[in-house]
A and B are shown apart, each in its own frame.
Chain A
Amino acid sequence: EPEVTQTPSHQVTQMGQEVILRCVPISNHLYFYWYRQILGQKVEFLVSFYNNEISEKSEIFDDQFSVERPDGSNFTLKIRSTKLEDSAMYFCASSKGTSGTPPDEQFFGPGTRLTVL
């Protein structure tokens, strides 16, 4: 069964460094998403991406963050100048982009745990 994969599973970085989190969405999906979950808190929407553009983003997704689909398979989240409070689990998701009922199901990857020291 196709699945969303993410690498690495755990990333440790020093404050101020840049990190790139990688995701391989399901191959025939058209919409891609990033979410994050700070330990013990809610899963928070960061950004959605379609047709090589950001389609929606949250207030969290400021200039420190960027997303890219560098080739036909990868979808990346770049965090520049990481802060301690960026430590979280980051989930990638993808969906086909269907409308109506049933809703467009988002398939999630297992997450990348980012630890900023």
Chain B
Amino acid sequence: GEDVEQSLFLSVREGDSSVINCTYTDSSSTYLYWYKQEPGAGLQLLTYIFSNMDMKQDQRLTVLLNKKDKHLSLRIADTQTGDSAIYFCAETTGGFKTIFGAGTRLFVKA
């Protein structure tokens, strides 16, 4: 069945790059997403990548997709304290359902 796995915690120093990793099982995924959740708020879509792409860059964010290994990563350059949040990897297969991972809590130390 569909499953998305990601590590639960990541701690980085301010100014360093953060890399959050995710693996998924459904080879028919059409879109893969990264969502951000700040305390007390809902999930906010950060970026997405279509399954036929390898990389997408959006300002400080770089998404890499290795479709063969079913591995997705999110790199945040020059990480700031305001980037501290939970980051969710997610996928859809073209239907209405979005499958999420458990979220990676990013701690940014000043």
Contacts from A to B (Cβ < 8 Å) = 4, 31, 33, 35, 40-45, 48, 50, 55-56, 58, 91, 93, 101-103, 105-111
Contact = CB atoms under 8 A, between A and B. Distances in A.
Given A108-B42, A109-B42, A110-B42, A45 B98 contact: yes
Contacts of B102: 40-43
B106 interface: no
Contacts of B10: none
Contact of A4 (B31, B42, B99): B42
A51 to B, nearest CB: 12
B100 A42 contact: yes
Contacts of A55: 96
Bin the interface of chain B by size.
20 to 34
Contact of A44 (B50, B96, B100): B100
Given A31-B96, A44-B100, 7 more contacts: A43-B88, A43-B102, A45-B99, A48-B96, A56-B95, A91-B42, A93-B43
Nearest to B40: A110
A110 B48 CA distance: 21
Nearest to A97: B96
Interface in B55-104: 88, 90, 92, 95-103
A102 B97 contact: no
B25 interface: no
21 contacts: A31-B96, A33-B98, A35-B100, A42-B100, A43-B88, A43-B90, A43-B100, A43-B103, A44-B100, A45-B97, A45-B98, A48-B97, A56-B95, A56-B97, A91-B42, A93-B43, A101-B50, A103-B92, A106-B45, A107-B42, A111-B42
A44 B41 CA distance: 17
B44 interface: yes
A109 to B, nearest CB: 5
State the 4 A-B residue pairs at the shortest beta-carbon distance, nearest first. Answer: A108-B42, A48-B96, A43-B100, A108-B43
